[in-house]
Each structure stands twice: as C-alpha cells, then as structure tokens.
Structure 1
Amino acid sequence: MAALQNSVPSLHHTLFLNSFPQKGLQKHNHGAFSCCKRGVSVHVRAEQSTSASDSSSSAHFQDSCRRRQLIAAGITAPFISIVDQTPFAFAAETKKGFLSVTDKKDGYSFLYPFGWQEVVIEGQDKVFKDVIEPLESVSVNVIPTSKQDIRDFGPPQEVAETLIKKVLAPSNQKTKLIGAKEHEADGKTYYTFEFVAQAPTYIRHALSAVCIGNGKFYTLTTGANERRWGKMKDRLLTVVDSFQIFNV
C-alpha cells in the first residue's frame, strides 16, 4: 500500500479532473465549444454548418450527417482504412447503443454510449462525455509504473479508497466507497469499484476500473449525476466492464 501512497502525487496530477464536470459551455469559432474549470480548457469536437448561404459548408455538414447515420447503422466498411491509420480506432457498434474505441498505441479499449462527444482535457488520455449532462462521462488515464500487477499496490478496497480520496475526488468533497472487487481477464488483474462524491450542488455516482500492463497504470472512470443513476446504471456498468488492456 505504501507504494500506491508514493505514487499519489503523480496520479493526482494526471487523474484529478477525470471524474468531474466543467463549469460552463461556451461556443467558439469554427464550430468548437470550450468549457473551463480551474484554468483547464476543454474542446468539444463538433461539426456544423457555419452559414446557410455557404454551399461548401452545407455540403460538408450533410456529408458529416450521412457518416454519422452510417456509423449508427453499423456500416463502417468504407471508413476502415482511414480509421486504421490513426493511433486509436473507432469501430462500429459492438453492442446496441454503444461505440468502441481502441487505442493501439497505449494498448486499451472500451465502449462508450452512442452520442457522447470526445473532448480534450489536458493531462488525460481520452475523454468522452454528454455535453448536456456533463457528469455523464468516461475518461481514461495512463501513467508509467514499475509495478507488474495491480495487486502489488494492495487489495481492492484499500487501493480504491486511496484513489478516491487522493485522486478521483477533490479534498473538499465527501466521498463514500460502495464496493470494490477483483477479477482477471486474459492474464491481467483488474480492480473495479463503485463510489459517490458529494459536492455542494450535486452528487456524482461513479465506477472505476484500474489495471497494470505494458509498464503502465491504467484508470478508467465513468459516472453520472446521482439523480440519473437509475437511468444510467446499466450503461455505465457496460462501459466499465468493457475496459480491456492488451499487450503492445
């Protein structure tokens, strides 16, 4: 457990923002949106027509809509060669209502609900969220480690409590660990846990999965506002259960 405590400063630097929404959503030029909290910029990648009179932009917007419709129908074959050229690949829906993302560089994959937007947050490897319900999100963080197995940091409950208190929630929020467990898949050990974090104006109900592989410490966190937990629970369980690490 001491090893995890010693890793907290670097974990905190990298993971601190991964469970919480950004205050405000402002429109910027070129069809982008930006949210800010504590000086961290977030850019929502969006495509839209900037002028009804601009035929070129209109054509681009219509093409984007057609592509989204194809993806929603699971017809992705025309785009496979393009996707595979990127460090991570977006695949067709592998489960109804979800899309898959695979990061071939860092060696992980997971599902996320269809309709969530990818956002860029400094210090985080990948983030997707619902721009209307910002507490509904999933993020993945990857940092180097000399450990070979997540069990080297201690049992599930102790690791979960340390991460929640020191990394996944601000110190001024009241947190509660609901449960933690261990499972193995493809020779790798995963810890998954459920917790709530209470802020002055909301309570976030979250799920996390942590694993070690490829000389890296992986953390996936997903969650929703407590008031929407009943509606989102099954989706979020699908997200956290889909998280897989593979050798690269």
Structure 2
Amino acid sequence: MAASITVMGSISAPWLSSRTRRSAVPPVSASTSARNENGSSSSYRHHSIAAPYLVTRRDVVASMLSSFVFSQLGSCEDTLAEPSVGFREYIDTFDGYTFLYPQNWIQVRGSGADIFFRDPFVLDENLSVELSSPSSSRYKSVEDLGTPQAAANKVLKQYLTEFMSTRLGVRRESNILSASSRIADDGRLYYQVEVNIKSYASNNELAVMPQDRKQRLEWDRRYLSVLGVENNQLYELRLQTPENVFLEEEKDLRDVMDSFRVVKAVN
C-alpha cells in the first residue's frame, strides 16, 4: 500500500473527556508544587501606625475594583487548567477517505491497518481504517453486504476471529448493540455497527477444584464500525474503547464516526 498523504489541521471542536484532565504535561509532585507556590522566602515585618488613617471614597472604589480584577484572574486560571483538546483532520487522497481524530492521539506505524491512531494514555483506545483489496473486490454499494444487521453479523464474526485465543480457560461474550444506516452530507450510504465484547479468563485453569478455576473479567470493550464503499472498495473505520471510557466520551467518539467519508481516490 502506498504511503498515505496526511493533511492535518486544527478543528475548533471540543474534546471533552477525562483525557482533558490527563494533559500531556507531566504530573508535578506535591513537594514541587509547594516550592513553586511559595516562591522566594521573603519575610515581612508588621508596623503599627500611630496616626489615624482616613479612608477616602477613591480608596474604597480602587479596593473594590482590585478585588474584582483578581477574582476574574483566578477564574481564568481555573479555566486554563483544563484546556480542551480538539480534533485534527486526516485526509488520504491516494486511498480515498478522510476523518477527524483527537489531536492528542498518536499515529502507530506497522500495525497492519491502512492507518492507526491511539490514545497516548488509554492504550486500549484506538481507531484504524481497513480497506478491501482493490484487485479482488468490486463493491458498488455498502448494500452489497446486505442489510445493516447482516453487515453487523459479519463485523462481529471478524472481530471474534481476530481476538481468538489459544489460552486455556478464555471465554468471550459478545453482543451486537446496534446496526443502522445513514446517508451523509456527501450523498453516500454508510452502515454503522456497534458491538460489545467481554473477555473472561482463569489464572488457574488446570486446578483440580472448580472453585480454584474461577474466571474473572479481563476486559470489557465497545467496538464501533463505519462501513462505506467507493473506488470499488469496502472501507471500514474502526473505533475501539473500554466500555467505561466510552460512557465518558460517547459524544466525541460518535463525532469521529460521523466524520468518516469515502472519496474518489487520486491516482
């Protein structure tokens, strides 16, 4: 596959999530914070004033104005402490697709997918794009897959095949959560599929007593796929995220799904 052409530009859309709090700035220890807040160790001496001090109206107004200004500065600091992340746009004109992705996600090369990005903090959260072979596929429409439900069955089967494990005592539970179709603003038909897969495993499958072979939950993930057809190829945008993270970031992840478009490839 030829190298993808990437054009990345900032998109002024919020990326509101727990990862906003997990900014790229390294955490500061409590002791370091204390030194930074104290600053220099200047000492102050207090003197009593013998003469009476008259407070004028100008002094009162100035004091009130100063208090207001500093209170607003404090609010600004609170706001800047949690900046929004936003999106970047990825455009591949050679293979013919485009989508938005969180701008703090990093690209991983050699993953086997046409393109692959992942969250730098939540390693189980990622997105990728898969393409059918241009020489062996002759797709005309995503409806070649059948109904959205039929496409969802194929997507789930593919996921389970990829996650097949040879370990003893591993059990997978899967469920199709939704299968739908939509016509995007480009006039093309897309299928959207959501599945949940849970993995259970035992740390001691060879134990003699059944109570020693108890299985525990290894991971619980949401998989979201968007399917589209162009250039006689089937395109699939895949999003993977832990189920608990999905609950926090659902709106943002759906924005990524909705941004996926297939376009005419430039040869």
TM-score range relative to shorter protein: 0.5 to 0.7
In structure 1, what residue type is equivalent to 2:122? E
Gapped runs of 5+ residues in structure 2? 15-85, 165-170, 201-217
Matching residue of 1:196: 196
Q: Distance in 2 between matches of 1:146 and 1:216?
A: 6
In structure 1, what residue type is equivalent to 2:257? V
Bigger-Rg structure (1/2): 2
> CA offset at residue 94 of structure 1?
4.8
Please say if 1:227 is aligned against 2:226. no
Could you state the TM-score of these two structures normalised by the residue count of structure 1? 0.62
**Is the partner of 2:155 in helix, strand or coil?**
helix
Aligned 1:147-226 pairs, distance under 5 A: 147-167=139-159, 170-171=163-164, 173-185=172-184, 186-200=186-200, 201-226=218-243
Could you state the TM-score of these two structures normalised by the residue count of structure 2? 0.57
1:236 aligns with one of 240, 243, 253: 253
> CA offset at residue 87 of structure 1?
1.8
In structure 2, what residue type is equivalent to 1:164? L
In structure 1, what residue type is equivalent to 2:197? A
**Cα deviations across residues 213-233 of structure 1 (Å, max 9, x unaligned)?**
012110001131112221121
Please say if residues 136 and 225 of structure 1, whose CA atoms lie closer than 8 Å, have aligned partners that are also in contact.
yes
**Is the partner of 2:255 in helix, strand or coil?**
helix
Please say if residues 191 and 227 of structure 2, whose CA atoms lie closer than 8 Å, have aligned partners that are also in contact.
yes
Matching residue of 2:115: 126
Q: Distance in 1 between matches of 2:163 and 2:148?
A: 21
2:126 aligns with one of 137, 140, 159: 137
> CA offset at residue 108 of structure 1?
0.7
Q: Distance in 2 between matches of 1:222 and 1:239?
A: 9
Q: Distance in 2 between matches of 1:197 and 1:218?
A: 22
Please say if residues 104 and 120 of structure 2, whose CA atoms lie closer than 8 Å, have aligned partners that are also in contact.
no
Residues matched between the structures, number: 164
In structure 2, what residue type is equivalent to 1:128? F
> CA offset at residue 146 of structure 1?
0.7
- Higher strand fraction (1 or 2): 1
Please say if residues 140 and 219 of structure 1, whose CA atoms lie closer than 8 Å, have aligned partners that are also in contact.
yes
Matching residue of 1:3: none
> CA offset at residue 123 of structure 1?
2.3
Gapped runs of 5+ residues in structure 1? 1-85
Q: Distance in 1 between matches of 2:181 and 2:236?
A: 14
**Is the partner of 1:90 in helix, strand or coil?**
coil
In structure 1, what residue type is equivalent to 2:124? L
Matching residue of 1:60: none
The alignment's C-alpha RMSD in Å is: 1.9
Q: Distance in 1 between matches of 2:8 and 2:113?
A: 18
**Is the partner of 1:105 in helix, strand or coil?**
coil
